[in-house]
Amino acid sequence: MAYAPMYETWRIDEDGTPIDVLLDLGHGEDFPLRSHPWFLGVRLPMARANDDGLPGAEEEHRLNLVENRIREVIREREGVYVGRRTGGSNRDLVFYMKVKPRGLEDRIRVSVGTEILFISRDDKKWQAYGSMLPGASEWRQIEDRKLVESVLDMGAIEEALHAVIHRVQTPLPKGAEALERLFNKLELTDILTTGSGKKLVVQGTQHTTMEVDPIHRVSWILQNKAPQARGSYLGWSAEPVFEVEDDEPFADDSDEAADELLAILESMATAPSE
């Protein structure tokens, strides 16, 4: 199969530390590349990280500029960039080289002019790359991220509450009953079962912002638990919400209401007492 780049991103948790992973899955079918047996890791310490160890917008921009320059230098040595990990106040770049890099570290330091750490070793089996490949939960998160991005691309407001409808199919009536109980435990609403015969579909609505984490928590549980009911998770859908509901329904008339209230209070104050 001919190689075609396929970069995907997802987030993992390592002992309470969030790590954003970007990986070229285009090598997933044909690794290891025998032509590039040498692993090279490049660590970029963050100049300014958020409390969770991830970069803010300004630091993300700086990291991207430094990363792009390093990739240019390594491309000149016919190195292969496969991905990165960002978190814990660092960004780690992962490359594979044809031969052990010599003089490359000094060349990069001169070119970039910032603090950088390096690690290189023989890795004919591409074990470093293999260890970064997504598991079942990460694949679900990748799909959830794409769906969230598609809704936001339609102009939806991320912080607005959306009705996210999850669906699971099962061939068993008892399986559908068990799934309905699971939906209830997940605090989904409008739970119902449709279909007939061996194609019963249980659906429920999650009311949440259009963000990956809360949606993924529910989708992964449903995907993981559905086989116990002989079922399969069909995914979720949501109509875009273009405005945030106002918690104060009379806010638009606040000035008018305040004037009216003030007039009432003044009339009460001037009214003769009995």
Quote the pTM value. 0.81
**What domains appear along the chain, each with residue ranges and CATH number?**
7-132 (3.30.70), 159-238 (3.30.70.970)
Whole-number Å distance between alpha carbons of 272 and 78: 94
User: Looking at residue 165, what is its pLDDT?
Assistant: 98
Q: What is the pLDDT, as a whole number, of residue 249?
A: 47
Strand order in the sheet with 161-170: 189-196, 199-209, 161-170, 232-238
Output the pLDDT for position 173: 96
Average of per-residue pLDDT values in the chain: 91
Which of 9, 106, 18 is CA-nearest to residue 55?
A: 18
pLDDT digits (tens, 9 = 90+) for 244-268: 766 554 445 555 656 665 666 566 5
pLDDT score for 102 = 87
| 182-233 pLDDT tens trace | 999 999 999 999 999 999 999 999 999 999 999 999 999 999 999 999 999 9
- Residue 258 is predicted with a pLDDT of 60
Exposure of 240 by Cβ count < 10 A (0-12 exposed, 13-18 middle, 19+ buried)?
Answer: middle
Mean pLDDT of 141-154: 97
What pLDDT band is residue 115 in, cutting at 50, 70 and 90? confident
* Cα–Cα distance, 230 to 214 (Å, whole number): 25
- Is pLDDT above 80 for 13? yes
pLDDT (average), residues 127-143:
96
Q: What is the separation, in whole angstroms, between the first and last Cα of the chain?
A: 96
Question: How far apart are alpha carbons 199 and 219 in whole angstroms?
Answer: 20
More confident: 176 or 108: 176
pLDDT at 251: 47
Positions of E strands within 5-45: 7-14, 17-24, 38-45
